């Protein structure tokens, strides 16, 4: 006889595994199946996150060990460069495959895990969901779906953008990196997209150099060319691994029904202005931690972003969409004028009203008012 599950979770990615690793601790009686389409999920990813007072401690909460921790950040544009000590905050980076492996290990013996099952179709029956995969049909009472279901249509209207990047972890023959300072954004002039290089220095010789675009129509061919230009200054180096990705920078999202809960990117768990999702996922998991999934309560598990932050992000994205060439100046002003701790709390979805007030004061007002105007007057 086929087994019916209480809960099926689609996708063994960051959102599902952060959720499950906590959920299974308190809900031992429910039968849970996790399905993943890839047989070997060893995709290069580096998850970075701000840590410090008031922010969820990822190391402690999820038993994860960071690969590197920085207390100084730098941003630069043209000849100008701003370097800040961010103590008591830090910027921490976790190796992607190791993080996912570790989170999955924490769910061991508490859930069933099947790899190589590609979900093709989902049918809703009365009180039961039928999941058709490439290999079998599975039935469940409740479905948690982390597939990225964002459609091209959702990207069509402004201010929706995509964050696209290619990064190479390189080993340089000479000492080219300062492992004390993470280079958050080194902007390049670009009229059509926001373009910057993000550098995570792991040692004097080793670092991840990543070219990033916030763009309406990104092309990997173009970004590969830009990445080669970024790597040119390292002259003699060996590329150890490459990571690339496309992350949505959009405000629209999917909603839960009585028995189907979207999570992850399509549920709005990536912050529209940054594309970062690890902190949002952690905050969401914290907010639902005491609840158990049962009949007719799945909507209570819906991720709800902070409305005020979404509104700020929509203005920021409007500026990026219409005036990408002005965005480097916006960041230089912001980091030059505002206490970096306020910016970190703001970027981590955890600002105080005082932080928001200082951020408004520190932004280039004319540009933001143009953004505001353009957002409402189409
Ligand atoms: C290279 C890279 C670096 C990033 N760096 C950061 C960072 O530093 N900090 C940060 O906060 N965020 C970062 N992000 C953004 C975000 O945190 C990640 O995209 C994160 O993986 C999103 O988690 P998720 O669970 O929503 O999606 P995913 O991790 O993509 O998980 C979805 C899973 O569903 C599976 N799946 C899809 N379709 C099917 C199907 N039909 N059947 C079965 N399974 C299916 C996929 O194989 C995948 O495993 C990064 C993203 C990328 C791509």
Query: Taking residues 321-349, what's their average pLDDT?
Result: 97
> CA 235 → CA 70, 173, 205, 232, distances in Å?
25, 9, 12, 6
Q: Give the pocket of ligand 1 (CB within 6 Å).
A: 10-16, 35-38, 41, 45-49, 118-119, 146-147, 243, 245, 247, 264-265, 270, 275-278
- Name the residue with tokens 């180096």: 237
Q: What does the pLDDT read at residue 375?
A: 84
Q: What does the pLDDT read at residue 377?
A: 78
Say whether pLDDT at 290 is over 80: yes
Q: What does the pLDDT read at residue 41?
A: 65
Residues of the chain with pLDDT > 90, as a percent, come to: 92
Q: What does the pLDDT read at residue 280?
A: 98
Q: Which of 144, 275, 285, 348 to mutate to test the pocket of ligand 1 (most atoms within 8 A of CB)?
A: 275
Say whether pLDDT at 316 is over 80: yes
- Which residue lies with its CA nearest to atom 18 of ligand 1? 277
Using the atom order of ligand 1, give the atom closest to the CA of residue 41. 49
Average pLDDT, the chain: 95
Residue 210, strand partner residues = 167, 198
Say whether pLDDT at 266 is over 60: yes
Query: Taking residues 133-144, what's their average pLDDT?
Result: 95
- Which residue lies with its CA nearest to atom 13 of ligand 1? 276
- How far is the centre of ligand 1, averaged over its atoms, from the C-alpha of 44 (Å)? 11
Q: What does the pLDDT read at residue 13?
A: 96
Q: Which of 150, 214, 247 to mutate to test the pocket of ligand 1 (most atoms within 8 A of CB)?
A: 247
Alpha-carbon distance 66 to 93, whole Å? 5
- How far is the centre of ligand 1, averaged over its atoms, from the C-alpha of 13 (Å)? 5
Using the atom order of ligand 1, give the atom closest to the CA of residue 267. 26
- How far is the centre of ligand 1, averaged over its atoms, from the C-alpha of 19 (Å)? 13
Alpha-carbon distance 354 to 30, whole Å? 43
Say whether pLDDT at 3 is over 70: no
- How far is the centre of ligand 1, averaged over its atoms, from the C-alpha of 345 (Å)? 23
Q: Does a cis peptide bond (omega within 30 degrees of 0) precede residue 88?
A: yes
Q: What does the pLDDT read at residue 1?
A: 44
Sign of the CA dihedral running 213, 215, 219, 221:
negative
- Which residue lies with its CA nearest to atom 17 of ligand 1? 277
User: How are beta strands 4-10 and 137-145 bridged, if at all?
Assistant: parallel
Say whether pLDDT at 206 is over 80: yes
CATH for the stretch 4-46+96-149+250-301: 3.50.50.60
Residue scoring higher pLDDT (152 or 281) = 281
- Which residue lies with its CA nearest to atom 22 of ligand 1? 14
Q: Which of 264, 266, 350 to mutate to test the pocket of ligand 1 (most atoms within 8 A of CB)?
A: 264
Alpha-carbon distance 270 to 50, whole Å? 15
Query: Taking residues 6-17, what's their average pLDDT?
Result: 97
Alpha-carbon distance 88 to 72, whole Å? 11
Query: Taking residues 100-126, what's their average pLDDT?
Result: 95
Using the atom order of ligand 1, give the atom closest to the CA of residue 165. 1
Alpha-carbon distance 294 to 142, whole Å? 8
Query: Taking residues 103-116, what's their average pLDDT?
Result: 96
pLDDT digits (tens, 9 = 90+) for 37-84: 998 766 889 999 999 999 999 999 999 999 999 999 999 999 999 999
Query: Taking residues 310-326, what's their average pLDDT?
Result: 97
Nearest to 312 by CA among 279, 341, 282, 355: 355
Residues of the chain with pLDDT > 70, as a percent, come to: 98
Q: Which of 8, 9, 10, 11 to mutate to test the pocket of ligand 1 (most atoms within 8 A of CB)?
A: 11
């Amino acid at each position: 006889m086929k087994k019916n599950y209480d809960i099926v979770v689609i996708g063994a990615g960051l959102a599902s595994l952060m959720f499950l690793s906590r959920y299974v601790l308190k809900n031992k009686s429910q039968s849970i199946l996790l399905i993943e389409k890839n047989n070997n999920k060893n995709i290069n990813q580096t998850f970075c996150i701000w840590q410090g007072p008031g922010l969820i401690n990822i190391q402690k909460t999820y038993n994860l060990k960071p690969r590197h921790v920085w207390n100084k950040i730098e941003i630069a544009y043209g000849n100008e460069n701003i370097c800040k000590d961010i103590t008591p905050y830090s910027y921490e980076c976790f190796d992607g495959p190791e993080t996912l492996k570790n989170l999955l290990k924490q769910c061991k013996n508490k859930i069933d895990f099947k790899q190589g099952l590609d979900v093709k179709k989902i049918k809703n029956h009365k009180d039961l969901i039928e999941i058709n995969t490439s290999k079998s049909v599975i039935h469940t009472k409740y479905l948690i779906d982390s597939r990225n279901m964002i459609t091209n249509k959702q990207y069509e209207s402004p201010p929706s953008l995509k964050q696209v990047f290619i990064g190479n972890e390189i080993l340089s023959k000479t000492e080219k990196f300062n492992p004390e300072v993470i280079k958050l954004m080194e902007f390049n002039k670009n009229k059509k997209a926001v373009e910057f290089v993000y550098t995570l220095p792991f040692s004097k010789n080793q670092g991840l150099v990543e070219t990033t675009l916030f763009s309406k129509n990104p092309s990997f061919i173009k970004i590969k060319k830009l990445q080669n230009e970024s790597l040119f200054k390292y002259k003699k180096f060996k590329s150890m691994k490459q990571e690339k990705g496309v992350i949505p920078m959009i405000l629209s999202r999917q909603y839960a029904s009585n028995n189907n809960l979207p999570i992850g990117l399509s549920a709005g768990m990536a912050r529209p202005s940054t594309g970062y999702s690890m902190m949002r996922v952690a905050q969401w998991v914290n907010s639902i931690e005491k609840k158990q999934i049962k009949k007719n309560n799945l909507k209570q598990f819906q991720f709800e972003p902070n409305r005020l932050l979404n509104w700020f992000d929509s203005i920021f994205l409007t500026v990026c969409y219409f005036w990408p060439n002005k965005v480097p100046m916006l960041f230089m002003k912001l980091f030059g004028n505002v206490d970096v701790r306020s910016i970190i709390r703001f970027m981590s979805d955890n600002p105080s009203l005082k932080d928001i007030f200082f951020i408004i004061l520190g932004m280039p007002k004319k540009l933001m008012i143009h953004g505001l105007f353009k957002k409402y007057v189409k």
